[in-house]
Amino acid sequence: MKNFFRLFLVLCHTILFTSLAQAQSQMPKLSLSEVSSIKWADKRVEWLDKAQANMPELKHTLVKPVAIVEGVADDGAFQGWRMVKSDQAIENFYKTSLKGHAPIILDLGDHYTGYVTFKVNHTGMPADAPVRLKLTFAELPAEVMTPFDPYTGSLSRAWLQDEVITIMRLPDEVKIPRRIACRYVKIEVLAESYFDFVIEDFSFDAVTSATGEPMALSEDCDPMIRRINQVGLKTLAECMQTVYEDGPKRDQRLWIGDLYLEALANAYSYRNHTLTKRCLYLLAALADEDGYLHATVYEYPTPMPQINQHVHDYSLLYGVALLEYFKETGDRQTAEDLWPVVEYQVEFARTYLKDGIYDVNKQPAWWLVFDWKDDLNRATPMQGLMTFCIAKSYELAEMLGYEDREPVKEWEKVLDQMRRASKSELYDKKRGVMLSGEQGQISYLSQAWMTLSDTFSRKEAQRAMRYVLEDESTCYPGSPYAYHYIIEALLHCGMETQARELMLKYWGGMIDKGADTFWEVYDPKDDKRSPYGMHVVNSACHAWSCTPVYFINKYKHIFQ
């Protein structure tokens, strides 16, 4: 089973799209109209309209480079590179003749997402020929210093932000068409002629939809917590565009898992709840014809789902995201509107239950994200997550007064059955931990999800969490996304000191390594780890890594 999942994850992108297309036709024909009295097709248009009506306006900020920098190879630095300020003042850059010049790296001083414009002009005699420039935009020092080719990554090479442009006539103002996410800008002259030329002006039009004013931390807050909060806020703001994006450099789109965590952090910082509302409606409108949510959707050129891209842990988290939104805003209308979607996700997941256990072998099997960690066995984490999500969905039903409706009124029983099955089938009473898969893997995430789902008693949870914290052989988390749930689980079972320590250690570790924004992937043991075969394609500003903002501002007494 472990191997099955490993293979499943590695090949998920490549295989899923074809195999699931076939699998789709064998899917249980449980449709939204069966679990609800509402007609799905009618709702789809209304929901999309509501999503579009809640489109946020982007705030624009003009950013100028603050320094010219140079990369220095340094084994002690994150991914082997650090930047130092050059002797050249930035003011001189605009007068620097670029003819025959070596590559120049500009530093914007922080991470920004937006649009690059610059003016190129000849100095002295007019240009007799076009100029060809290569611009490389990078979030990290190692990214700007590492040649992109030969590219060994598994995702499209086109995500890497280097652009070759031909400027036919000078003077000219050049606007790079693609939106950029970067701190560093490398400028290389690929072709020139006899004339001298300069970049007269360089502007970065930074955009975000994060407009609210985050709360101030307490005055005596630990400086590292303060810095983690600051970088978390920056990470979140960069990802808040016209949807909650997963990363402004790569993917640039709404995923359910990221939405859930970003909405949590937003609720404790910018409080731009209309963005959350927009995303909830957008996902609902773009579910498949039966009602199963797509894990990710696109906004452009027109809103559309990544067809057949379903993630079973993500779809269940949708209900939790709606619950939290309702709690924060009291927006009953939206919660009532979107309730059928939540109900469908639960009912559809229930078809995967076999004697109270989520059957990972049942076909079609779905992608389970959970973490960027190939060796994680996902069976028990999924069992815990599903229990957690049904419990939260039931809580939402109660708030809406739907708890006595069919099929909701069965859910308490389902929860009871699942928890009992987990305890009887997956629990190693002797060691006090949940095992996963045929090899009986002990992972952080199995314990965390069994804690969050109240499958464990508080005491059992503490014992299990302590086990994984102390036993170095357990399968540890690979991403900030997974760490979020570990911290949440520690807080849930009252292990506040450990939660604080773990946050300081993990997110503080990124700060120590110079993070301007929190990274998609961070393995303290391997700076260059990448789920995509090449570290330069990793996202260095990733939504799912921003949740310290949520923890620090929600649990003030613990973190501030």
Query: Footprint of a second copy on this chain (CB under 8 A)?
Result: 13-14, 17, 124-126, 128-132, 151, 155-159, 163-164, 166-172, 177-179, 190-195, 298, 300-301, 304-309
- Strand, coil or helix: 551: helix
Strand, coil or helix: 333: helix
Dihedral of alpha carbons 394, 398, 400, 406, sign: positive
Kindly tell me which of 63 and 165 has the beta carbon lying closer to a second copy: 165
- Closest distance of CB 55 from a second copy, Å: 17
Q: How far apart are CA 186 and CA 435, in angstroms?
A: 49
The CB-of-250 to a second copy minimum distance in angstroms stands at 8
Residue number, 257 or 381, with CB nearest to a second copy: 257
- Report in angstroms how near the CB of residue 354 gets to a second copy at its nearest: 31
How far apart (Å, rounded) are the C-alpha atoms in residues 108 and 88? 15
What letter does residue 78 receive in the DSSP assignment?
A: G
Least distance CB 153 / a second copy (angstroms)? 10
Q: Looking at beta carbons only, is 121 or 474 nearer to a second copy?
A: 121
- The Cα–Cα gap between 357 and 343 comes to 19
Which 3 state secondary structure label does DSSP give 367?
strand
Q: How far apart are CA 185 and CA 182, in angstroms?
A: 7
Which one-letter amino acid corresponds to residue 330?
G
Q: How near is the Cβ of 128 to a second copy at its closest, in Å?
A: 6
Least Å distance, CB 27 to a second copy, is 17
Q: Which amino acid is at 438?
A: E
Instruction: Look at strands 196-208 and 59-63 and give their pairing.
Output: antiparallel
Nearest C-alpha neighbor of 544 from the set 308, 372, 319, 367: 372
Q: Residue 296 CB, nearest distance to a second copy (Å)?
A: 8
Nearest in space to 489 (alpha carbons), one of 533, 438, 454, 538: 454
Nearer to a second copy (CB atom), residue 27 or residue 224: 27
CB of 97 to a second copy, least distance (A): 14
Q: Which is nearer to a second copy, 157 or 529 (CB)?
A: 157
Please state the closest distance from residue 420 (CB atom) to a second copy, in A: 40
Q: Which is nearer to a second copy, 56 or 171 (CB)?
A: 171
- The Cβ-side half-sphere exposure at 186, using a 13 Å CA radius, reads 25
Contact between 439 and 474 under an 8 Å Cβ cutoff? The reply is no
Rounded (5°) CA angle 310-314-315: 70
Residue type, 294: H
Q: Are strands 427-428 and 433-434 parallel, antiparallel or unpaired?
A: antiparallel
Residue number, 61 or 193, with CB nearest to a second copy: 193
193 or 218: CB nearest a second copy: 193
In the complex with a second copy, which residue's Cβ is closer, 62 or 129?
A: 129
Looking at beta carbons only, is 195 or 402 nearer to a second copy?
195
User: In this complex, which beta carbon is closest to a second copy, that of residue 172 or of residue 324?
Assistant: 172
CB of 57 to a second copy, least distance (A): 21
Burial 294-313 (b: 16+ CB within 10 A, else e): bbbbbbeeebebeebbbbbb
Query: DSSP 3-state helix, strand, coil percentages of the chain (rounded to 5)?
Result: 45, 20, 40
φ/ψ (deg, to 5) at 135: -115, 130
**Nearest distance, CB of residue 144 and a second copy, angstroms:** 18
Measured N-to-C along each axis, helices 480-492 and 496-512 cross at an angle, to the nearest 10 degrees, of 160
Nearest to 235 by CA among 114, 112, 145, 94: 112
The conformation of residue 311, written as its DSSP 8-state character, comes to: B
Residue 303 vs 440, nearer CB to a second copy: 303
Q: How far is the CB of 125 from a second copy (least distance, A)?
A: 5
HSE-CB at 15 with a 13 A cutoff on CA atoms is: 12
195/555 with CB nearer a second copy: 195
Helices 332-350, 312-329: inter-axial angle, 10-degree rounding: 160
- What span, in angstroms and rounded, lies between the C-alpha atoms of 149 and 93? 28
CB of 365 to a second copy, least distance (A): 18
